[in-house]
Amino acid sequence: MATVFKNLLSNDVATTRTLLNEAIPITGSIVSGTYADKNIKYYSHGMFESVYDYPYLSSSANHIFDITYGYSPTLSSSANPMNAKKLNIYNQMAQVLAGYDVNNNVRQFDRDGDLTGGDKLDSCVFLNYSRLLVKDEVKKGSYTLTLLSGSTLITLGDYGAQNDYRVNSPSGEYGVLYTSSTSLPGTGVGLIYYQAGVAVITSSVNIFPSASNFNSVYSITGTGDYVRNVWRNNLLNNTTELNSTIYFCRANNNEFNYSSNPTYLSGSKIRTKNVSSDPSVSYITSVGLYSADNELLAVAKISEPLKKDQTNELTLRVRLDY
Amino acid sequence: MAFLDNSGDIILDAVLTDTGRARLAKGDGTFRIAKFALGDDEIDYALYDKTNPSGSAYYDLQILQTPVLEAFTNNTATMSSKLISISRTNLLYLPSVVLNEVFGGSGDINSSSTARNQTAGVFYVAVDDDTNTALAGVSGVIDGVDGSGGNYVRVDQGLDTDEVSPQRELDSDLVETQYLIEMDTRLGEILSRDGNNLATISFIDDDQIASYYLSLGTDLKFVSEITNNKKISDGAPGQVIDGPRGTSIQFKVQASIDLNTSTFLFSQLGSTLGTPPSGATSGTYEYIDSNIRVTGVTTGNRIDIPVRFIKKTL
């Protein structure tokens, strides 16, 4: 019986999961400088500002992250500019990232991730990275942010986070940011939420010498501008999770040795043969994957023709990524 | 589409087709890959040089150097020619599918003919009664209104060579038992030769191409065995296959309601004839050119039949 299809059996199909990482650098010159702030988008509500990698009016521009600032109700003062919005921002970020306690009160950000006690982060700068950069998540242990603190450079990082991270957030896994790889537990200066793609940095004077102005002098975007101006470098690796199905298309020695190509025959005679005992030769350039009702669902092309005859067998490994 | 880089390792460039993506988006479980086929679309077997004086290693040198295009996502534009699995390796001849234009005529039912219009090289499909009347003097016209008269299409399958006698029986594994007809469903549908039965559509893809699977023994009005085993030279009227014969498929085309009642698709997909077909009454004729593809499902052979949907508008 002649046939053009071959059924795929259960041992011809395999599924795999692969994590792809890309290194993402965000230099200080992009964040403030090169484009004279034409790549910074402000909004009339003033609750955050957006940073692009090119002047945002250009169609080539990509949104890379947002900066905003907020504090907890313990720091609330009607004398502060944008007091309500700073509270709202903090509560919004906290309810999404830190969650609620058993009484349904919004938790505050915790300095070391131990929610049962310890210091809380009452006022924080939030860096919300776009999905374009973060993809599925930030790779643990890859995040560093270098800022100019006074006259010295200070680098925050999730040092050692590949083996030390927290899972008690409703938004997935997070790590603690330290100022040094030798920092002691409990001395964290921020948190990095890997799947959410959000960095939470305390507005301590050790990090931002002008932090005292964040609450009482600066608006939210004023704080954002300050952070941008002390920004020197930011490195992170993103992660893309590839779920793949691999189809092993096996052509045995006695299969796929003839062709329905119109040039294959000359007057119904096979061109590659002189006599019937000559080997049947065909050349493969593509693999089609079909549904049970013969609809072509995927196609793969081979970069050069592969010779097929009864003396060889081929396994073509077609991977579809989702 | 660009060529694939063939300077280094062999790479495999895989994409979902538009149909594949559409099924995936449906989320109803219809995206399930169950089988595969291998194709050789770019290969020109005429380049196989069996007489190359440098030896057998050079026979297929030009074929192996063929650059290969990237994968198309259009499911109808790729995997046009498939490789065939036949367990026997000693075949020297393979069957072809051939348009039979000599079968019909005065001896056939309704005196129908299977020939195209020889001037235009197409089958005309008259999409309404006015056009049918206006084309009464034109050859190669299929009645696209109700299929009650006019021409029909017949495709024969077998070994088209005079080196093997038609009195030899075609090996059973080379007899085509199922045909696939693909045509643009916006333009029409497949109708039985007697005009009484519409073929059942198996599915319509995202490009509006309808697929009909018609089988020997099941679709009696479409697929039948060729029983005439006389040589053409000995007087086998209506036969085009020189050697052993397998099966044939015959059908008409019924124009769609859109073509029957409106000129919208003629404006969008077609044009206006400069001069009416020879033998037609004078007037303005609009037309759409298309192909109907007939493929042997078992043996993979295929043929594209040119059709011209035509409408007299003035």
One-letter-per-residue 3-state SS of chain B: CCECCCCCCCCEEEEECHHHHHHHHHCCCCCCCCEEEEECCCCCHHHCCCCCCCCHHHCCHHHHCCCCECCCCCCCCCCCCEEEECCCCCCCECCEEEECCCCCCCCCHHHCCCCCECCCCEEEEECCHHHHHHCCCCCCEEECCCCCCECCEEEEEECCCCCCCCCCCCCHHHCCCEEEEEEECCCEEEECCCCCCECCCCEECCCCEEEEEEECCCCCCCEEECCCCCCHHHCCCCCCCCCCEEEEEEEEEEECHHHHHCCHHHHHHCEECCCCCCCCCCCCEEEEEEEEEEEECCCCCEEEEEEEEEEECC
Interface test with A, best of B85, B172, B216, B240 (most A CBs within 10 A): B85
Residue of A nearest to B174 (CA): A2
For CA atoms A181, A182, A185, A186, the dihedral sign is negative
What pLDDT shows up at residue A249? 94
Q: Are A260 and B301 contacting, i.e. CB atoms less than 8 angstroms apart?
A: yes
The minimal CB distance from B79 to the residues A269, A272, A296 is found for: A296
**Pairing status of strand A198-202 against strand A123-129:** antiparallel
Name residue A187's amino acid: T
Distance of CA A293 to the CA centre of its chain: 37
* pLDDT over 90, % of chain B: 51
pLDDT in tens, A30-72: 999 889 999 999 999 999 999 999 999 999 999 999 999 999 9
How many angstroms separate the CA of residue A11 from the nearest CA in chain B?
12
At B1, is the pLDDT very low, low, confident or very high (cuts 50, 70, 90)? low
Please, what is the Cα angle at B189 between B187 and B194, to 5 degrees? 135
Closest Cα partner for A50 from A36, A31, A75?
Answer: A31
How many angstroms separate the CA of residue B279 from the nearest CA in chain A?
35
pLDDT of A263 higher than 80: yes
Which residues, 6 or more positions from B9, have their beta carbon under 8 angstroms from its beta carbon? none
pLDDT of B105 higher than 70: no
What pLDDT shows up at residue B229? 84
Rounded mean pLDDT, A264-278:
90
What pLDDT shows up at residue B111? 56
DSSP summary character for residue A104: S
Closest Cα partner for A244 from B16, B74, B28, B35?
Answer: B16
Bridge partners for A147 per DSSP = A154, A231
pLDDT of B109 higher than 50: no
Report pTM: 0.79
Asked if B34's CB is within 8 angstroms of A290's CB, the reply is yes
How many angstroms separate the CA of residue A123 from the nearest CA in chain B?
44
The total number of residues shown for chain A amounts to 322
DSSP summary character for residue A213: H
Distances from the Cα of A220 to the Cαs of A49, A100, A214, A243, B66, in angstroms? 8, 25, 8, 40, 62
Asked if B11's CB is within 8 angstroms of A286's CB, the reply is no
Asked if B301's CB is within 8 angstroms of A285's CB, the reply is no
Closest Cα partner for B286 from B267, B272, B269, B265?
Answer: B272
